[in-house]
């Protein structure tokens, strides 16, 4: 009897050992699998919204982004990138928070944040993506092509180049459709935001607005100089003689109906384009130096305005 019990106990012990080995093997395989999945996509941080919204559009939002709340307000898109950790103010990001869980790469768009590079290098490797007029040899490559290049680079960085190519293709197709929808517009457009009774800001080459006008085959009425960021602060007298269809941008930082109220004051009410009702007011709901997502939002609003109003 004792002999039989001994055989049974040895059998149970062997079985437990065998099951333990299998369980340990499953755990090890699971850990290896998780490690492999983690290696496929690098953890990213960015201080630039063009980069952040492009990553988000590709289905790979950054782990960290600085200035997120400001971007949400400016583009009127609360919760636009909900899975990202906000690093605080755009120009003074919380580097201690970033260093507490270091990403593999920190993505910036020079000249912004160049002054932080010595500190950032202590946290992670830095990748630079200058855009628009800040792109090296930007005069030899269209801003549209620069954004295509950015999208492809981010696709490679996230290990998802197919998503990048698909998004670029869909964006080009979408703009081709918008261009057909708009049709022929018989005069140039002036994109402008009134600041007060005598001053305004005009947009052109070097901004999303300027790039979108060109991509849609529309002429920009502003032919004078612009700053590095594709805009210029001007006085009312600078535009009074411009014969154009005017697109006013209603900023989220203005009081409700801010552009309409300013138009009724000062020199603006004497502007021929205003007297002829040859204008429209659009809500600024995108980043003026953003990526393709911002370009799409502005283009859609502009196309709807031109297609459904007397501006045609």
Q: What is the pLDDT along the chain (312 residues), one digit of tens a residue?
A: 444 444 434 434 443 443 343 333 333 333 333 333 444 578 999 999 999 999 999 999 999 999 998 898 888 888 889 989 999 998 899 999 999 999 999 999 999 999 999 999 999 999 999 999 999 876 678 999 999 999 999 999 999 999 999 999 999 999 999 999 999 898 999 999 999 999 999 999 999 999 999 999 999 999 999 999 999 999 999 999 999 999 999 988 888 889 999 998 888 999 999 999 999 999 999 999 999 999 999 999 999 999 876 564
* Residue 159 tokens, joined: 């290990």
Is the CB of residue 47 less than 8 Å from the CB of residue 71?
no
Q: Which fold has domain 44-180?
A: Rossmann fold (3.40.50)
Q: Do domains 44-180 and 185-308 have the same CATH topology?
A: yes
Superfamily of segment(s) 185-308: Nitrogenase molybdenum iron protein domain (3.40.50.1980)
Is the CB of residue 127 less than 8 Å from the CB of residue 120?
no
Q: Which residues on adjacent β-strands are paired with residue 10?
A: none
Is the CB of residue 123 less than 8 Å from the CB of residue 44?
no
Sequence spans of domains, the chain: 44-180, 185-308
Would you state the pLDDT for residue 14?
Answer: 46
Distance of CA 281 to the CA centre of its chain: 23
Comparing C-alpha atoms, which of 153, 152, 173 is closest to residue 299?
A: 173
| Type and span of the H or E element at 46 | strand 44-46
Alpha-carbon separation of residue 104 from 120, 127, 151 (angstroms): 12, 10, 19
Is the CB of residue 42 less than 8 Å from the CB of residue 105?
yes
Examine residue 111 and say whether the peptide bond preceding it is cis (omega within 30 degrees of 0).
yes
Could you tell me which residues come within 8 angstroms of residue 117 by beta carbon, excluding any fewer than 6 positions away? 108, 126
Helix boundaries (H) for the chain: 2-40, 49-57, 68-74, 95-100, 117-120, 143-157, 161-182, 208-215, 258-263, 272-275, 292-308
The DSSP output letter for 266 is G
The DSSP output letter for 283 is E
pTM: 0.84
């Amino acid at each position: 009897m004792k002999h039989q019990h001994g055989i049974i106990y040895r059998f149970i012990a062997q079985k437990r050992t065998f099951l333990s080995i299998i369980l340990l093997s499953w755990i090890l395989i699971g850990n290896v699998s998780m490690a492999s999945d983690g290696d496929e996509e690098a953890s990213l941080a960015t201080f630039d919204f063009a980069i952040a919204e492009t990553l988000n559009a590709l289905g790979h939002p950054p782990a960290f982004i600085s200035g997120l709340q400001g971007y949400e307000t400016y583009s009127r898109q609360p919760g636009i990138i909900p899975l990202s950790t906000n690093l605080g103010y755009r120009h003074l990001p919380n580097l201690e928070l970033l260093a507490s869980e270091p990403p593999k790469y920190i993505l910036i768009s020079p000249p912004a944040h160049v002054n932080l590079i010595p500190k950032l290098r202590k946290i992670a490797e830095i990748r630079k993506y200058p855009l628009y007029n800040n792109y090296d040899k930007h005069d030899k490559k269209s801003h549209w092509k620069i954004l295509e290049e950015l999208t492809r680079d981010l696709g490679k960085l996230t290990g998802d180049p197919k998503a990048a190519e698909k998004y670029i293709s869909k964006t080009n197709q979408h703009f081709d459709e918008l261009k057909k929808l708009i049709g022929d517009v018989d005069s140039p457009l002036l994109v402008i935001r009134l600041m007060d009774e005598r001053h305004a800001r005009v947009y052109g080459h070097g901004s999303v607005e300027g790039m979108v006008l060109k991509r849609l085959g529309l002429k920009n009425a502003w032919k004078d100089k612009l700053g590095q960021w594709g805009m210029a602060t001007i006085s009312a007298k600078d535009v009074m003689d411009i014969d154009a269809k005017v697109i006013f941008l209603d900023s989220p930082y203005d009081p409700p109906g801010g552009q309409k109220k300013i138009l009724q004051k000062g020199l603006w009410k004497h502007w021929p384009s205003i007297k002829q009702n040859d204008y429209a007011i659009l809500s600024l709901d995108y980043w003026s130096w953003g990526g393709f997502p911002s370009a799409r939002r502005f283009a859609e609003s502009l196309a709807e305005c031109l297609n459904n109003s007397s501006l045609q």
